[in-house]
Structure 1
Amino acid sequence: MTSDHDMLWRRCAYLGRVLLPLLDQEPWRQGRRRERLCAWGIDVAVGERLIEVLTSLAAHAVAVDASLSASECEALPLSAVADAATGKQDFELLAGLPDTFADDRDDIAVKVFRLYAYKGDQSSLQLLRLGTEVRHTLAVLAARASVRSLTCRDILREADEAGLPQ
């Protein structure tokens, strides 16, 4: 049986995975993001995966701080996730994670994030830049929405409607 804590991570990880495909519905955005990653000296595949995991970590940190269950986390405002992506320290984003991950991709991505966080110097700068990329992505998605205060539930619903894999 899956614990609520594990389910919370899975919902947050799903949010991270669907973020860029939703943004890339405007194809030119992908090209610009990839140009920025290259200009920052970040490998595109690594950078995009770190954007995904950074989004997941930020959503998870906000949900854990608010003591939300997996079912309640979808009510998180995107603005709170964006604030956490740029406002929390790396170690704060890593606090409260599950001990193990059902998805090996999540386990590896979190380990890579840890390496960047603990390495310092250039890696810390890259995480800061990726955090601003997450904030920008969430702001673009929020600006597209017809509702006033976009939540994680709205993004997940949009991903389901777009047929993105879970």
Structure 2
Amino acid sequence: MTSDHDMLWSCCAYLGRVLLPLLDQEPWRQDRRRERLHSWGIDMAVGERLMEVFASLAAHAVAVDTSLSASEFETLPLSAVADAATGKQDFELLAGLPDTFADDRDDIAVKLFRLYAYKGDQTSLQLFRLGTEVRHTLTVLAARESVPSPTCRDIFGRADEAHLSL
């Protein structure tokens, strides 16, 4: 039986996975992001995967801080996730994670994020830049919504409309 905490992480991971495909519905955004990653010396695939897990970690941190259950996760405002992406320290984003992950991709991505967070030096700057990119992504997606304070539910609805089942 899957615990609520594991289900909460699954919701957070799904949010992280759909953000870039939704943003990239405007193809020029992907090109611009890839140019930035290249200029920062970050491999495109690594950078995009780190952005996904960064968004997942930010959402998870806010959900845990506000005691949201998995069933309440969709009510989480995108603005709170965006704020966490740039407002929380790396170690704060890593606090309270599940001990194991159902998806090996999540396990590997979280380990890579940990490595970047604890290595310091240039990798800390790269994480800061990636956090800024995540915040920008969330802000752009929130601006596309017709409601005043978009939530994760709105993003999940867009993902369903775009037939994203990641």
Instruction: Tell me, yes or no, whether TM beats 0.5.
Output: yes
Q: CA RMSD in A?
A: 0.5
Query: Counterpart amino acid of 2:136?
Result: H
Residue matched to 2:20: 20
Query: Counterpart amino acid of 1:35?
Result: E
Q: Secondary structure at the match of 2:107?
A: helix
Residue 131 of structure 1 pairs with residue 156 of structure 2: no
Residue 98 of structure 1 pairs with residue 98 of structure 2: yes
TM-score by length of 1: 0.99
Q: Secondary structure at the match of 1:71?
A: helix
Q: Structure 1: which 4+ aligned runs deviate by more than 6 Å?
A: none
Residue matched to 1:65: 65
Q: CA deviation at 1:74?
A: 1.0
Task: Give identity over the alignment, percent.
Answer: 85
Task: Extract unaligned runs of 5+ from structure 1.
Answer: none
TM-score by length of 2: 0.99
Distance in 2 of aligned mates of 1:124 and 1:71: 34
Residue matched to 1:49: 49
Distance in 2 of aligned mates of 1:114 and 1:12: 17
Q: CA deviation at 1:70?
A: 0.3
Q: CA deviation at 1:111?
A: 0.1
Residue matched to 1:82: 82
Distance in 2 of aligned mates of 1:2 and 1:83: 29
Deviations 1:18-48 (A, max 9, x none): 0000000000000000000000110000000
Distance in 1 of aligned mates of 2:121 and 2:150: 34
Q: CA deviation at 1:55?
A: 0.1
Distance in 1 of aligned mates of 2:121 and 2:82: 23
Q: CA deviation at 1:121?
A: 0.6
Distance in 1 of aligned mates of 2:20 and 2:29: 9
How many residue pairs get aligned? The number is: 166
Q: Secondary structure at the match of 1:72?
A: helix
Q: Secondary structure at the match of 2:56?
A: helix
